[in-house]
Amino acid sequence: MGYFSRIICAALLCAAPAVAQDVALTSRDGSVRIDGTLLSYDGEFYRVDTIYGPLTLDGAGVTCAGPGCPDLNAFIADVTFSGTRRMADVLIPALIQAFAERNQLTLTREVVDDTQSTFILSDAERVRARFGLRATTTSEGFADLIAEEADIALVLREPRPVEEQMAASSGSGNLVKGRRARVIALDGMVAIVAPDQPVKDLSMEQLAAAFSGNATNWTEIGGADVPIIVQAPPPNAGLSEAFEDRVLAPNGVSMTSNATRQPALEDLADAVAGDSFAIGLTTLSEIGNADPVRISGSCGFEQAPSVAALRTEDYPLTLPLMLFTPARRLPLVARQFMDFTASSSADLVIRRAGFVDQAITTSDFNTQGDRLAHAISAVGDEVPIEELKRLVETLRDRDRLSTTFRFESGTKLDVQSSENILRLGRALETGEFDGKTLMFVGFSDGEGPARPNKALALRRARLVMGQVRDASTIADFSRIQLQSDAFGEALPMACDDTAWGRAINRRVEVWVK
């Protein structure tokens, strides 16, 4: 069934459920009985369709009678992953293998074809879980999740409005509310050129012009008088869709029909590296022998794609690799796997797979030279030199954490920053920052008066600090000091004349002493 067919089918509630059977669940003291049709059992909880609607009951608190009752001693958790090949080909299999080893489970892989396989996890007694993996696209992953043909979607972008609407209509819940998305690794959307191509930095607007075909000659984007040859991934690839959503659509254009579509990013990089007329769209992990293009702004800021810039989200085209989960509870083994993906053991697997992990790293104040130079150039009535001096005095003996928090709008954190809340919280709980002071420092864009911007930046810093503290439920705060401060517009990361530049500037950094 195709992508749109499954989306429409889900909206009409026509997705085929598992075979349903009658059960009667009775509380241990016999005082309450629930009759209904068993929808699922995950090893811990029963999900039953009753006259009151779907109910979830803790298996430890009830007994089950009827033809639909599962064999509790032979339960096997079946979990299906579906989505982008960028994750399904290497990253997810490597994480499943590491997860099995960590839990002393034997792993067997049964391959159906080049798009489908099953990972069987067993202990000394029996099979405990089956992880089905379907390698397709980000769109197919969302479609399978909405149609309940997959338990976890592997995606390179957040859901589009049509997918949100279909999920709500089909009873799959709100895809953007709650913690439905887990960022497990990072990559970057990167424009690449041949090593002998002199143009090595472009604005977002120039990228949109080149990839849409509005600019057909390099002279139109600052280069020599030669034609622009566009190399791109397939249109249904998650990378292409993310680029469409974040670069092309905001500029009112779409990918040129003259682009040469390369199914494999390795082949795309080779094609660009050997053609000085070409520009290509790939990821940081698949640059090959081509050169990456820096993102520039009209005020002189440039941001190169790098591991450090992806971790801090300073690079504007950071590409989170996400697991999207259903509104219902996943089986215990699936929840354990999700938790494993955020561990230091998983970080090592992620790096070996060629992606960027989210491990917390530090950089000292002396590495902030470029940012300080831009800050000095921006000194004026809005940001007086005294404020810049205060910034230097406050931060000069601290190190910046890679953990940075950015906002979609107002005080709503983006998906990568929401993951950072939990990761930093876990670091506090494990004692990684015992005996140290963490300062949450708010910065703003330059739109509007400086004083309100600084006040808003301080509110955001305190908000993030509070959320991190709330996430650190077992941390010993007698050994950790948390502080907040704000400098508003004083240390811009990008030009304020574009929406993406302002988004980069609105942030909360964390500095440790």
CATH code of the domain in which 30 resides = 2.30.30.520
| Mean pLDDT confidence for 161-185 | 88
Portion of the chain with pLDDT greater than 70, in percent: 94
Q: Is 60 a member of any domain?
A: yes
Pairwise CA distance, residues 167 & 161, whole Å: 10
Q: Is 493 a member of any domain?
A: yes
DSSP 369: H
Lowest mean pLDDT of 6-10, 107-111, 374-378, 457-461, name the range: 6-10
In a shared domain, residues 61 and 162: no
Lowest mean pLDDT of 176-185, 416-425, 474-483, name the range: 176-185
In a shared domain, residues 107 and 132: yes
For residue 14, pLDDT over 50 is answered with no
Pairwise CA distance, residues 466 & 129, whole Å: 38
pLDDT at 171: 81
Q: Is 1 a member of any domain?
A: no
Look up the domain containing 251 and give its range: 187-311
pLDDT single digits (tens) 76-125: 899 999 999 999 999 999 999 999 999 999 999 999 999 999 999 999 98
DSSP 284: G
Closest by Cα among 233, 191, 239 to 84: 239
pLDDT at 2: 56
Pairwise CA distance, residues 459 & 465, whole Å: 10
Q: Is 320 a member of any domain?
A: no
In which element (H, E) is residue 461 found? helix 450-471
pLDDT at 1: 54
Q: Is 2 a member of any domain?
A: no
The CA-based angle 501-506-508, given to 5 degrees, is 140
Residue type at position 175: L
Pairwise CA distance, residues 48 & 328, whole Å: 12
DSSP 293: P
- pLDDT category at 300 given cuts 50, 70, 90 is confident
Q: Is 6 a member of any domain?
A: no
In a shared domain, residues 174 and 229: no
In a shared domain, residues 486 and 380: yes
In a shared domain, residues 304 and 422: no
Query: Among 8, 42, 71, where does a domain finish?
Result: 71
pLDDT at 377: 65
399-409 vs 507-512, strand pairing mode: antiparallel
Strands (E), 421-479: 436-443
Q: Supply 495's token pair.
A: 């030009």
For residue 297, pLDDT over 70 is answered with yes
User: Measuring CA to CA, how many Å separate 416 from each of 87, 185, 186, 500?
Assistant: 17, 10, 9, 16
Pairwise CA distance, residues 84 & 75, whole Å: 29
Which residues partner with 10 through β-bridges? none
- What is the full DSSP assignment across 311-325? HHT-STTEEEEEEE-
For residue 511, pLDDT over 50 is answered with yes
259 close to 308: Cβ distance less than 8 angstroms: no
User: Measuring CA to CA, how many Å separate 508 from each of 113, 375, 385, 402, 465?
Assistant: 46, 17, 21, 11, 9
Mean pLDDT of all residues belonging to the chain? 89
Q: How many domains does the chain have?
A: 4
Lowest mean pLDDT of 4-13, 142-151, 291-300, 372-381, name the range: 4-13
In a shared domain, residues 366 and 501: yes
In a shared domain, residues 37 and 58: yes
- What is the full DSSP assignment across 332-356? HHHHHHHHHTTSHHHHHHHHHTTSB
CATH code of the domain covering residue 434: 3.30.1330.60
In a shared domain, residues 92 and 223: no
Pairwise CA distance, residues 127 & 105, whole Å: 9
- pLDDT category at 380 given cuts 50, 70, 90 is low
For residue 257, pLDDT over 80 is answered with yes
Helix (H, G, I), strand (E, B) or coil at 92: helix
In a shared domain, residues 389 and 407: yes
Q: Is 11 a member of any domain?
A: no
For residue 53, pLDDT over 90 is answered with no
Closest by Cα among 17, 31, 39, 27 to 65: 27
In a shared domain, residues 366 and 482: yes
Helix (H, G, I), strand (E, B) or coil at 25: strand
Pairwise CA distance, residues 134 & 116, whole Å: 5
Query: Among 71, 87, 104, where does a domain finish?
Result: 71
For residue 190, pLDDT over 80 is answered with yes
Pairwise CA distance, residues 342 & 471, whole Å: 14
Which residues partner with 439 through β-bridges? 483, 511
| Global confidence as pTM | 0.84
Pairwise CA distance, residues 95 & 119, whole Å: 11
6 close to 144: Cβ distance less than 8 angstroms: yes
In a shared domain, residues 55 and 134: no
Cβ count near 264 (within 10 Å): 12
Q: Is 486 a member of any domain?
A: yes
In a shared domain, residues 378 and 465: yes
CATH code of the domain covering residue 96: 3.40.190.10
Pairwise CA distance, residues 261 & 233, whole Å: 5
pLDDT single digits (tens) 396-440: 899 999 999 998 767 788 888 988 999 999 999 999 999 999 999
334 close to 79: Cβ distance less than 8 angstroms: yes
